[in-house]
Amino acid sequence: MSLKTSLDISKIVQCRLKETQYLQNEFPKNQIYLHHTAGGGDAEAVSRFWGSNESKIATPFVIGESGKIVQCFSSKHWAWHLGVGEQIFKNYKLPFHDLNKTSIGIEVCNWGGLKYKEGSYYNYVGKKVKPEMVVDLEYKFKGHQFWYKYTDAQIESLRQLLVYLCDTYDIPKTYREEIWNVDREALKMTSGIYTHNSVRPDKSDMYPCPRVIEMLKNL
């Protein structure tokens, strides 16, 4: 018997966007895309920022550093979260699909790639990062060897949310190592779990943290 905890949806914090800030028309969902925010650890602050404009750029879920899951709108609906144009499909000789409509985005609060300078680590806005929040990949991914840590609480909340969404929408949980770079299967609308890297060569979210990979392999 598995000892893994399942998602208690009653504990998801509702911080809903206005109906003008996402799209209500419904499409079948067959993909999940993992992002990180390149910002601070407060998930509700992310939702408030999205709520401050009419761009319709958002994801239904944001996971804060504490592991708190914030819901901005129903996963049945959608918003712009991938920024994928027609050119990437042309590059791979594939027909264009608006993947925003048929996918669910999850944002994880995280500063992303870090710079090492004179014995200290800094995020991209020049703020010093505590050493215990630094992950050394021991190789460079998208130009960075050092990355801000996804907390244990975030990874566990992400695991629970992925299991819930995959079961709800009948999305396969199988891990594929190709998801950390542009993945032809993602562009083909193949059902599964992907990262923003899977459809955008210029993106670096999420990064291939060994602890996240281990979690994905054991969903």
Same domain, 131 and 165: no
Please report the pLDDT score of residue 2 as a whole number.
Answer: 45
Same domain, 106 and 167: yes
- Among 98, 126, 149, give the residue marking a domain's end: 149
Q: How far is CA 126 from the centre of its chain?
A: 23
Please report the pLDDT score of residue 4 as a whole number.
Answer: 82
Same domain, 154 and 136: no
Same domain, 133 and 72: no
What SS3 state is found at 45?
helix
Question: 19-32: per-residue pLDDT in tens?
Answer: 999 999 999 999 99
Phi and psi at 109, nearest 5°, equal -65, 120
Question: 94-139: per-residue pLDDT in tens?
Answer: 999 999 999 999 999 999 999 999 999 999 999 999 999 999 999 9
| Residue appearing with tokens 């050394």 | 136
Q: Report residues of the chain scoring pLDDT below 50.
A: 1-2
Same domain, 39 and 92: yes
Tell me if the pTM is above 0.75.
Answer: yes
Same domain, 65 and 141: no
Please report the pLDDT score of residue 3 as a whole number.
Answer: 61
Same domain, 97 and 123: no
Does residue 8 lie in a domain region?
no
CA distances from 84 to 30, 88, 103, 121, 203 (A): 17, 7, 12, 32, 11
